[in-house]
């Protein structure tokens, strides 16, 4: 579930790109696609927050909807995103 815009903005700015989340993300483990992993979703969210383009392309939408909401990434994130 996406957080509110301001909370999303803060969370994306706090990401330190350590990659711990990818190691435990089941979607990334199955697809091996960065955009389908937790870190890839954070990078996409950073772009969307900084961009004035409000339209979501299908690939962006697919990346977010591929999240299983299992919270495995939260359990290993050193900054608690």
Residue 27: inside a domain = yes
Residue 81: inside a domain = no
Mention every residue, 6+ apart, whose C-beta is less than 8 A from residue 35.
41, 44, 59, 63
pTM of the model: 0.69
Residue 23: inside a domain = yes
Q: 48, 54 in Cβ contact below 8 A?
A: no
User: In a structure prediction context, what are the per-residue pLDDT tens digits for the chain, which is 81 residues long?
Assistant: 444 666 777 778 888 989 899 999 999 999 999 888 988 988 888 887 777 665 666 667 778 788 899 999 999 999 888
Q: Which range marks the domain in which residue 56 is found?
A: 5-76
Q: Give the pLDDT of residue 14.
A: 86
Taking the CA atoms of residue 61, residue 34, residue 18 and residue 74 in that order, the dihedral angle to the nearest 10 degrees is 50
- Structural domains of the chain, count: 1
Q: Give the pLDDT of residue 66.
A: 86
Residue 15: inside a domain = yes
Residue 55: inside a domain = yes
Q: 78, 24 in Cβ contact below 8 A?
A: no
């Amino acid at each position: 579930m996406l957080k509110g815009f301001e909370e999303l903005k803060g969370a994306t700015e706090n990401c330190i790109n350590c990659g711990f989340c990818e190691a435990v993300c089941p979607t990334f483990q199955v697809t091996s696609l960065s955009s389908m992993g937790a870190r890839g979703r954070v990078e996409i969210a950073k772009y969307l927050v900084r961009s004035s383009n409000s339209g979501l392309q299908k690939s962006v939408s697919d990346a977010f909807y591929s999240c299983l909401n299992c919270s495995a990434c939260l359990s290993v994130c050193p900054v608690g995103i």
